[in-house]
Chain A
Amino acid sequence: MANGTWKIARGKGSPQLSIAIVAVLAAVLVVLGRAQSSLFDRARTYFSDVTAPMLEAARGPVNGIGHWVGGLGQIFVIYSENQRLKDENAKLRQWQNAALVLQQRLKRYQLLLNAVQDPSLSSVTAHVIGRANRPFLDTMILDAGKNQGIKPGEAVVDDRGMIGRIYLVGQHTSWVILLTDLSSRIPVAVEPGHVQAILSGDNTTSPSLETSRPGVALKVGQPIITSGDGGLLPAGLPVGTVTWNGSEFRATLLADPSSADDVRILDLRSPPEQPPTPGANDLPVVAGGFPPAAQTPNMLPGAQVKPLQLPAGVPPPVPPAQPQQQAGAKPPGPAAANAGQDDEQDH
């Protein structure tokens, strides 16, 4: 490029001092970025809002070219692929019918048991207008924001499973942190057994899986779903399957963010869980052998409890302690307390 025969011009002042000051400023920026990230986040969402029309316009041709290039290799296997898909479609229709029957049966059981209804789950469908792939960052941008009711923390899924969570929301764009991102942590459960675990992204295609119980035995191929712990993400969203890389368990994700063009943003409207009303026997003074200081109104001796009406021939179920307390019935007896102890021992 150059042979060293030219004296390079320099600006006035001390360049070394300038570089030192700039280096300090850069270090301050790192600290400031951690402490005041909302300031920079607003700038990011403003930028994505402004450039959204341009990204939307570029999305079509770029995706078209990508699909066309990706589809070139499929030309020679179209016939066999078509036959395979027809067979698969027929099998899937059978499974769909079975799923519908089971869904109806589940609804009937829920009605019979007077089970707590699942939280309502609405969704917004959005286009993927951009993807950012950095060594320590894996995000995508959607064309839906505050105007469409999107909020930070909501789950983003494609037709196969969960992709990530919303972490920044602009007026009509939002940023998604993918499950593979270095900063991504979500609570999941491994089925069967509902083994609680944390899915941690590390910018590889297979996030790591850390079970909350040490020594628990996982098997390759077990399905992973969201556990719903914390109330931010809906429970039961398919995430992936368990894999073993020779040293630790990891998750092979079902969703493919690189090929997803349209995604759904799930809005979990779960009512806040209320703690059960403590009964007289739940108070620590009673457990210590002392009388309670005051009785709650629903524990008055004269309170009437309406018995549960059961159909003829149905044996009376043993209800859990929590609904009884909420309904103002008598506190759980020793059997219920022992059952609770057993549960704790199981854990």
Chain B
Amino acid sequence: MNDRLGLSFSGTGSSVLPFICGVIGVVVANVPISFLGGLVPSPLLAFMPVYFWCLVRPDLMSAPAALALGALEDLLSGGPMGIWALSFVVAYTLVDRERDGFAGLSGIGAIFGFAAAMLVAEVTAFLVVAATHATFPPLGPFVLQAVTTILLYFPGLALLTQVHHRFVGALRSDF
């Protein structure tokens, strides 16, 4: 599939590449070094590959893969286990059910689609934290994290598109 690009990426390698991108997103977001003095919560970088490949190639980003990435996010962030795992799966379910609607979005609409999925993930995390801690946490940090992640999706989308185009296959818009 990558012959026209002069690359030789094996089928197995390209099939696990979306998951590897998610793992890289988790690790980069959880390198516990603050560049902004803790003013803004770390973005959910791992959610970008989950959303992107859930739309364009759901066979390469399955629900168990989304669960695994969420669990890894929980593990490395030091928080209670399962919060992001459940949030990723709930958001994945929404995107999976409304794939045609999300995939039909283009340009700034694609960002709005990601923002909607991000909102679902953040609301799920907020509710799970409220249930497990028996108190409502402040909403501000969740909103800040969502905004940061959505803003980073602009370059993230370009990067993921390039990765997909070069190593995995063509986008559906190329057909």
Q: Do the beta carbons of B104 and A135 come within 8 Å of each other?
A: no
Interface locus among B6-14, B17-25, B80-88? B80-88
Q: What residues of B have a CB within 8 angstroms of the CB of A258 in the complex?
A: 34, 37-39
Q: Find A2's partner among B42, B96, B104 (CB 8 Å cutoff).
A: B104
Q: Find B81's partner among A5, A30, A66, A168 (CB 8 Å cutoff).
A: A30
Q: What residues of A have a CB within 8 angstroms of the CB of B115 in the complex?
A: none
Q: Do the beta carbons of B81 and A19 come within 8 Å of each other?
A: no
Residue among B32, B78, B172 with most chain A CB within 10 A: B78
Report Cα–Cα, A100/B25, bound state, in Å: 53
**Majority-rule SS of A interface residues:** mixed
Known contacts A2-B172, A6-B172; is-contact A204 B138 (Cβ 8 Å): yes
- B77-124 contacts to A (CB < 8 Å): 77-83, 85-86, 88-90, 92-93, 96, 99-100, 103-106, 110, 122
Asked if B171 lies at the interface with its beta carbon under 8 angstroms from chain A, I say: yes
Asked if A132 lies at the interface with its beta carbon under 8 angstroms from chain B, I say: yes
Asked if B41 lies at the interface with its beta carbon under 8 angstroms from chain A, I say: yes
Q: Do the beta carbons of A182 and B31 come within 8 Å of each other?
A: no
Interface locus among A20-28, A109-117, A294-302? A20-28
- A3-B173, A27-B82, A135-B144 known, 11 other contacts, Cβ within 8 Å: A2-B105, A9-B58, A15-B96, A22-B66, A28-B82, A33-B83, A66-B35, A131-B38, A137-B77, A141-B32, A203-B137
Q: Do the beta carbons of B33 and A131 come within 8 Å of each other?
A: yes
Q: Find A9's partner among B59, B76, B85, B99 (CB 8 Å cutoff).
A: B59
Chain A: interface size category: 35 or more
Q: What residues of B have a CB within 8 angstroms of the CB of A28 in the complex?
A: 82
- B137-173 contacts to A (CB < 8 Å): 137-138, 140-142, 144-145, 157, 161, 171-173
Asked if A11 lies at the interface with its beta carbon under 8 angstroms from chain B, I say: yes
Q: Do the beta carbons of A58 and B33 come within 8 Å of each other?
A: yes
Q: Do the beta carbons of A132 and B75 come within 8 Å of each other?
A: no
